[in-house]
A and B are shown apart, each in its own frame.
Chain A
Amino acid sequence: MEFKTGAELLDFCEKQGCAIYQAIVLQEKTMYEKKDVEIYEQMKINLKVMRDSVKNVLEGKEVSRGQIIGGEAKKLRKRYKTEIPVCGMTMAKAISYALATMETNATMGKIVAAPTAGSCGILPAILLSIENTHQISEQLLLNGLLTAGAIGTIIAKNATLSGAEGGCQAEVGSASAMGAAAIIEMMGGTPKQALDGAAIALKNLMGLICDPIAGLVEAPCSKRNAIGTANALISAEMALAGIESVIPFDEVVDAMFQVGRMMPCTLRETAEGGVAATPTGKQIKQQIFQKHL
C-alpha cells in the first residue's frame, strides 16, 4: 500500500473514516515492516530534537552567532515578553521559534531536516507555538508530525523538496504546506481541510527563489522560515474556517514543480541571483571567505 497522490490519500481516509496520520502509519508499517510503537518512538526523538533546537537558543546564556545571522530569536522573544505583538502572541512566538531553529542550524547545532536543513525552522515553530497557546498533548504533536510527513512524501514523489531543483518554494513552500496540514490535524480538522490548507500554503509561496547569500544556509533562509511559519498558520486558519483551495492539492504540487523547472539556475541555490547577487550580498560573501583564506 502506497499513497502516490493527495487524491489517493484523501480517498483512503474518507472511505476508511480515518485521519491522514493513521493512513501514513499504515503505509509506513507495510512498506518498512515497522510496528506502531517503533514509528511513534522514532517520531518522539525528532520532536525532542526540535524542542531542544528552539530551547537551546532562546534560553541559552550566550547569543548565537552564525556567519551572517545570530541573536534574532532572542530579540523577538524580548519583544513579545514586554510588548503586545502586532501579529498576536501565537504568531510572535512561532516566528521566534523558527528563527531559533535556524540559528541552531547555522551554528552547527543539532536539527531535524524537515524536509531540509534550509527549512528546518517551520515544523518546530508551528508545533511548539500552538502546543503552548492551545494546550496540545504530545500524542497530538506526534500525529501532527506524521501528517506533515505524509504531505511531504507526496510532494517528494510528484515534485521536489530540493532548493537546487525547485528553488525555495520547494523547501520552505513544502515545509509550510506540511506545517499547515499538521496544524489542521492537531486542531481537529478533516483530511480534506488538511489537503486544502497544504494547497493554500504551497500556492502562497509559489515562485519563491533560492538565493542564499554566500551560499550559506543563513540569509535570507532564516527569515524565509519565519514567513513559511506564518504562512502555515494563516493557511491553516483559512482551511479550518472551511475555506477551500480553488486548485486541488495535487495540481498545486505539479504547478510548483513546473515553476521550479522554469526557474533559471541562478535562482536555484547557486547564490548567483536574487539577494545573493546584490552589492551587499556580494560584499558579505567576500568578507566571510576572506576571513578564512
Chain B
Amino acid sequence: MGQYSVFDIVGPVMIGPSSSHTAGAARLGYMAKKIVGNGIQEVYFYLHGSFAKTYNGHGTDKALLAGVMGYLPDDERIRDAFSLAKKQGLLYHFMEADLGDVHPNTVKMKIIMDTGEEWEITGSSIGAGKIKIIKINTMEVDFAGEYTTLITYHIDRPGIIATLTAILAKYKINIAFMKLFREKKGSKAILILETDEHIEKEAVKEILQNKDIEIAKVIEPI
C-alpha cells in the first residue's frame, strides 16, 4: 500500500492527452536535457514498443522534443514543439526501434551537442507520468528524478565515495538513495545520489576539486 497525497489524485496539472505517453514523455526529454546540459544541437529519438506504435496519436513526439527544449509536462508550448524547435535551429528525428527487453514505453535519445560531444540517454515512462532513466551512454542506471539528484562521472578508485559523502555531510545534506554503476573495475563509473535537501553550488564545486571526478551535475526534482 503506497502513500498518496490528495495532489497525486487531484493532479498533476498536465498537457493531455495521456499521462504515460505525453506527460511522462515530456519528463523523459526534460531529464535528458538536465543530464546533458545546454547546447543541444540535434536529437535522434528511438521509440520502442507502445511509444513506437502510437506516438503521433498521443503527441509523444512533441512532448519528448518539448522536454529536450526544457519544457515541463504542464507547459502549453508542448503543442507547438515542432515549430519552436525549428525556430531554435534544433534538429530532431523520430524512428521506431527495438530496444530489447525494456518497458513498452521506452525511448533512447541520441543527443549531439554543439561541441560535437555525443550522449545516449534511455528512459521509460512507467505510468501515471512517472519515469525512470535506465541508461546513460553505455552505463545501465536506475533513477526517477523525484529527488534532488547528483550525478557524477568518475574513475572507479578507492576513497571517491568517501570524499563525496564527506562533502555532502559538511553541507548537512542527507542522502536518501545512492547507486553506483561501473563498466569494470578501475574504469569509468557513475554515481547517482538522491538527496532530501537541495545541493548548493559550493558543494558541487568542492566535489569537482577531486581530479578523479570528471563531471558532477545536480538535477532538481521535477
Residues of B within 8 Å of A42, CB to CB, are 7, 11
Q: Write the chain A residue with the least CB distance to B129.
A: A113
A215 & B2 in contact (Cβ 8 Å cutoff) = no
B10 & A157 in contact (Cβ 8 Å cutoff) = no
Q: Could you mark each residue 238-256 of chain A with 1 if its beta carbon is under 8 Å from any beta carbon of chain B, else 0?
A: 0000000000000000000
> Which of B1, B15, B17 makes the CB contact (< 8 A) with A157?
B1
B128 & A116 in contact (Cβ 8 Å cutoff) = yes
Q: Could you mark each residue 1-44 of chain B with 1 if its beta carbon is under 8 Å from any beta carbon of chain A, else 0?
A: 11111111111111111110011000000000000000000000
Q: How many A-B residue pairs have CB under 8 A?
A: 136
Query: Can you identify 20 A-B contacts, CB atoms within 8 angstroms?
Result: A4-B1, A24-B6, A28-B5, A32-B5, A105-B16, A108-B16, A109-B79, A110-B76, A111-B13, A111-B15, A113-B19, A116-B128, A117-B18, A117-B23, A123-B10, A149-B6, A157-B2, A158-B1, A215-B58, A217-B16
A193 close to chain B: CB less than 8 A: no
B16 & A289 in contact (Cβ 8 Å cutoff) = no
Residues of A within 8 Å of B163, CB to CB, are none
B126 to chain A, nearest CB (A): 11
B127 & A164 in contact (Cβ 8 Å cutoff) = yes
Provide the bound-state CA to CA distance between A270 and B14, in Å.
Answer: 22
Q: Write the chain A residue with the least CB distance to B62.
A: A108
Known contacts A113-B129, A117-B19, A216-B58; is A152 also within 8 Å of B1 by CB? no
B84 to chain A, nearest CB (A): 13
Known contacts A108-B22, A156-B9, A162-B127; is A215 also within 8 Å of B62 by CB? no
Q: How large is the interface on A (under 10, 10 to 19, 20 to 34, 35 or more residues)?
A: 35 or more
B25 to chain A, nearest CB (A): 12
B15 & A108 in contact (Cβ 8 Å cutoff) = yes
The B-contacting residues of A in range 76-133, CB under 8 angstroms, are 104-118, 120, 123
Provide the bound-state CA to CA distance between A39 and B1, in Å.
Answer: 23
B157 close to chain A: CB less than 8 A: no
Q: Could you mark each residue 129-172 of chain A with 1 if its beta carbon is under 8 Å from any beta carbon of chain B, else 0?
A: 00000000000000001101110110011100110100000000
Known contacts A110-B15, A120-B16, A156-B4; is A289 also within 8 Å of B56 by CB? yes
Residues of A within 8 Å of B22, CB to CB, are 108, 117
A148 & B10 in contact (Cβ 8 Å cutoff) = yes
B59 close to chain A: CB less than 8 A: yes
> Which of A4, A111, A114, A162 makes the CB contact (< 8 A) with B16?
A111
B146 close to chain A: CB less than 8 A: no
Provide the bound-state CA to CA distance between A110 and B23, in Å.
Answer: 11
B14 & A114 in contact (Cβ 8 Å cutoff) = no
Residues of A within 8 Å of B62, CB to CB, are 108
B10 & A145 in contact (Cβ 8 Å cutoff) = yes
A106 & B10 in contact (Cβ 8 Å cutoff) = no
A106 & B17 in contact (Cβ 8 Å cutoff) = yes
B78 & A108 in contact (Cβ 8 Å cutoff) = yes
B53 close to chain A: CB less than 8 A: yes
